[in-house]
A and B are shown apart, each in its own frame.
Chain A
Amino acid sequence: MKLNKERFEWSSGYDGDTVDYEIEVSTTNDTEQTIELVKTSCLIVSKEGATIGGDFNNEEDIYMEPGEVAKFNVNSGYGIFHSATNGDPSSVEAHIDTTFFRREFFNLGELDVPSEDGQVTQLTSTKNVAGGDLQILGATISRDASEDADRNLNTSVGLRNLGSDVQQKIMVKSILIDRAGAQIDYSEYEEVIPPQSAAIITPSVYTKAGRLKGAKMKITVTLFQPVATSSVSLDFPTKS
């Protein structure tokens, strides 16, 4: 996936001694997958070849069906000393690396909410996803005791990465639904899981105890799987 420059501009920082760079690139989704996330990293390098700034592991929302085009921001950090550019902010290069992800969604199921404080309910099934690389070992919902009418419900989902690649982003979402089917609250939590290791992801929701009678918790898991990478180097930023 070729990256095209849409914008590479510099402006003086708020204190006058620094420079900020703004970068936007566009690309066409030439994969067979719908892309829903891009992670970017960027190094700003002086013409002498020294890294003078940048940013990494940034996430941007993106949506591209196969064949579609999209533009997105690349964070490059802020506050690079003007002197680091040898007085010429337009002389730097930006080295940009991107990884594009597709989304895979799994509904783990619905569990009854524990009827009493200090109790738990459990989902005992094990599910293998991501081509068998990721194992989801059930889930537990626990209900915290409290001195007042508010209650926390914690969902714990255990995941093992059995593969040889990092699972770069896994999101567990818990949605609390009352007995009439209306959503009360929701929460989500995301993690990176290195190869041959595990994680417990524990989103928690919060509501009044009175609303928990007959309530259920819906648990979903979303994986973001890399589908393409692309890099580009940009030079000659213009003044914005």
Chain B
Amino acid sequence: MSLRINIPAPLRRYTEGQGLVEVSGNSVGSALASLVELHPSLRSQLYTDEGRLRAFVNVYLNDEDVRFLEKMETTVKADDVISIVPSIAGG
């Protein structure tokens, strides 16, 4: 199944400038894996060396934060849009 992932500005240099990348997958996790397979240099931007999503990388499925759904196991359907949203905060 194909769906799209919305890439934030700082990461578009790793997707050849694309803001929306079409990927395949049945879950949020597999869709992100598909994204990294298409654009391998994104891996270290999104994941730690241990393979965990970096703490500041937030993932939304349409309008919902996947942490409040089934996280990486959240099921996706065609035409869903996943958004990667790096957090913004400071002091």
Whether both chains belong to one complex is answered with no
Q: Which residues of A contact B (CB under 8 A)?
A: none
